[in-house]
Structure 1
């Protein structure tokens, strides 16, 4: 005798749950502050009716015991725009820092940019961090993304837009150190040897204009940052009698050079006086002489704000845009037969290496470069002075042997 076929199970009905296109939400009502009556709301959608029902029951329990918190409906991407304005308006951060935060937060778009900020769960957030590792982003990059997200969600909690911070307790993915990492544990920044620097400057001298030579010479002989150099004022920042250049500002330009901003230096240590020699003063004087000639030739449309180095094309007198300097440097590097990966910042690293080579102390170099402490400067210094350290025991032995 055959088995009796099973009757289909009756689907469980969850009161308050609405289902549509395979997704389920729970409808509930909340009081309207300062008004009579209540307004209808729904939970986020869930794949099962049971999950939606459980989420709704939790909300009802919170309403009963007075712990209910109504999260605002703003979308994450929209709040990023609002938050960046608030972040910049504090006056405590530089334009460059705002740009970095904006660039990092753009990475969140494909993960939860379209979600309401209150719908971003701890799981969503952790999955984003883990996926960043899968995409081979560096540990430092992920840490920077995490710190940016932490700031924005903390502000949302502070503004009572969300109840809890999904970044709290998130774990930065771990990176296993390989044998190769240990063998190459310190990557020395790119810089030029003395002969290479001379070759580069010779190429600029022979194939460039006076301003280009003066600009790259000054960067190489002072270690000045490109933003600090662009902000130099020919009338205020050069002290000829005591032989130093005063660093009190840096130039920032996000898009159009006419919209440039003069900021305070990068850090407190960055505000400094860089000692210079007669040869540097001669180059500065030559640059000022050239400026006077250039200003006279462009007197009808010259923008005179006192910059030592200026744009010579469409915006004469305005500071030179950093990308233009980088492009011209690549041309001279090619002429000199040097690696195209070198940049204006490499001249700063070159200055550190040559100071270390002639025996200048690390602390003195750091002050000259405008660092309270800096890992890159220290790496270059240790790399350059390694040969001298190895020579020390040999010199000691020769001394003891009377040689």
Structure 2
């Protein structure tokens, strides 16, 4: 009995629900490298259309007349671009970027013929992204990079993304997001209460971590990458030169800080005392688990296997305390905003705050400063009204 041949043609579904067909093609041996050459042809609306193209290619290959065409679709240009892009950024950035393409850009534009993409096509997708995505400008920026790459290699003459009109009206999601962003911090009184409640809990590791975040302004990833040799208990200084991040296959790894610049900051006596106490407790607790934590590169905050602590863990800890004691809700990153805000209230200069928090762009620092100034003005009029008593 003859063995049934399996067709190489497979179907796939676009984000809008439409079905398309694709198939792989073996192109022989590359005379330059000696390696096998393969390509993927996709975007066929019917299986019959794909079958006819496959038959045509097979015949051309058999006759020795087939030459791989230049990249034709946005997807094919993206496949060329992404190989170069991976070499230019951190692994965590690469993972985030390819996620944006997979979820938003390629489903929308992947099958377009590169030379057919015009300003109307780009405008259509910008408007769609603006309707449903808070960071639609970021999506547009990445989608445009592929066309810039295509221009540099002569596939197209101009980049139509540069001609689109960017939507200015904030969507409801955008407005809500901004409000949440502004309110993601504690006042001085709220912070004191939060840390006081946390101290009552049995989780001293969480207490030490949140105290450190609130009094240093460190990013969470920077704190989770800290080792004990980064702390100087004699001078009460902290060296911040790395950060925990998530890379390929969801794996955690240590990279440089967000700005790529290390910084040393001064810490208050009490926070360093709390960290010193945690170091003692860590030694005792982890000895029971079979780990010697007296190594110089021992993580300050690790999990029960003495490996990197999952960044999502802090959310569970902070929500537990906030819910239990009916506290205001902020994220772990909100403690960084809190530190920045309270530094300004305490009279620190813009440059001092920028350097301490490791902001590469002073605008980031100024945005928080503007919010603190607004809060101070509101308090001033309340004091005035209270004084006049009218």
Give the TM-score of the pair, scaled to structure 1: 0.67
Matching residue within 266, 281, 284 for 2:272:
281
CA 75–284 in structure 1, closer or farther in 2 if over 3 Å, else same? same
1:253–1:323 Cα change, 3 Å: same
Report the alpha carbon displacement of residue 301 of structure 1 after superposing the two structures with TM: 10
- Structure 1 residues 293 and 117: alpha-carbon distance in aligned structure 2, compared to 1, 3 A threshold: farther
RMSD over aligned Cα, in angstroms? 3.5
1:245-264 equivalences in 2 (<5 Å): 245-254=238-247, 259-264=251-256
- Choose from 163, 173, 180 the match for 2:166: 173
SS at match of 1:344: coil
- Residue 83 of structure 2: aligned partner: 85
User: Structure 2 CA distance, aligned partners of 1:300 and 1:370?
Assistant: 33
Q: SS where residue 245 of structure 1 aligns? A: strand
| Superposed structure 1 runs of 4+ greater than 6 Å apart | 300-304, 388-394
Q: Residue in 1 aligned with 2:287?
A: 296
Corresponding residue pairs, total: 311
Structure 1 counterpart of 2:98:
102
Contact residue 142 and residue 172 of structure 1 kept, 8 A: no
CA deviation profile, 1:90-138 (whole Å, cap 9, x unmatched): 3xx22333233223323123322233444434332222112223x2434
Structure 1: gaps spanning 5 or more residues? 1-33, 35-43, 46-69, 395-403
Match of 2:120 among 110, 123, 138: 123
Provide closer, same or farther for how the CA distance between residues 354 and 302 of structure 1 changes in structure 2, counting only shifts above 3 A: closer
Give the 3 Å change call, closer, same or farther, for CA 110–88 of structure 1 in structure 2.
closer
For residue 282 of structure 1, report the CA deviation from its aligned partner.
Answer: 0.7
Identify the range of structure 1 (121-130 vs 344-353) with the bigger mean alpha-carbon deviation.
121-130
CA contact (8 A) 1:245 1:275 kept: yes
Matched residue, 1:325: 314
Q: Is residue 221–residue 245 contact of structure 2 (8 Å, CA) maintained in 1? A: yes
Are 1:335 and 2:335 an aligned pair? no
Shift of 1:164: 3.1
Q: Check 1:320–1:116 CA distance in 2 against 1; reply closer, same or farther (3 A cut).
A: same
TM alignment of 1:2-401, pairs within 5 A: 72-73=70-71, 75-77=73-75, 79-90=77-88, 93-105=89-101, 106-133=103-130, 135-138=131-134, 141-160=135-154, 162-176=155-169, 188-235=182-229, 237-254=230-247, 259-267=251-259, 271-299=262-290, 305-312=297-304, 316-340=305-329, 342-371=330-359, 372-373=361-362, 374=364, 375-386=366-377
Q: Which moved more, 1:168-177 or 1:273-282?
A: 168-177
The more displaced of 95-104 and 319-328 is 95-104
User: How far apart in 2 are the matches of 1:376 and 1:252?
Assistant: 25
Q: Quick one: distance in 2 between partners of 1:392 and 1:198? A: 23
- What CA distance in whole angstroms lies between the structure 1 residues aligned with 2:151 and 2:140? 16
Query: Partner residue of 1:22?
Result: none
Distance 1:306 1:99, change over 3 A: same
> What's 2:26 paired with?
none
Is contact 2:117-2:160 (8 Å) kept? no
Describe the SS at the equivalent of 2:348.
Answer: coil
Paired residues of 1:71 and 1:118 also in contact (CA < 8 A): no
Q: How far has the Cα of 1:254 moved from its partner? A: 3.8
The alignment partner of 1:266 has SS state of coil
Contact 1:248–1:265, Cα closer than 8 Å, also in 2:
yes
Pick which of 271-280 and 186-195 moved more.
186-195
Separation in 2 of the partners of 1:359 and 1:273? 20
Deviation at 1:220, TM superposition (A): 1.0
Q: Deviations over 1:214-269 (max 9, x none)?
A: 1111111111110110111112x112232211111111124778x3222111115x
User: 1:294 & 1:119 partners in 2: Cα distance?
Assistant: 64
Cα distance in 2 for partners of 1:303, 1:261 equals: 22
CA distance in 1, matches of 2:203, 2:270: 18
Please tell me whether the aligned partners of residues 282 and 293 of structure 2 are also in contact (alpha carbons under 8 angstroms): no
Confirm or deny: 8 A CA contact 2:123 2:164 kept in the other structure: yes
The alpha-carbon deviation at position 276 of structure 1 amounts to 0.6
How far does residue 351 in structure 1 lie from its aligned partner after superposition?
Answer: 1.2
Once the two structures are superposed, residues 135-172 of structure 1 have per-residue CA deviations (whole angstroms, 9 ceiling, x without a partner) of 2434xx23212211221122233344x23344353213
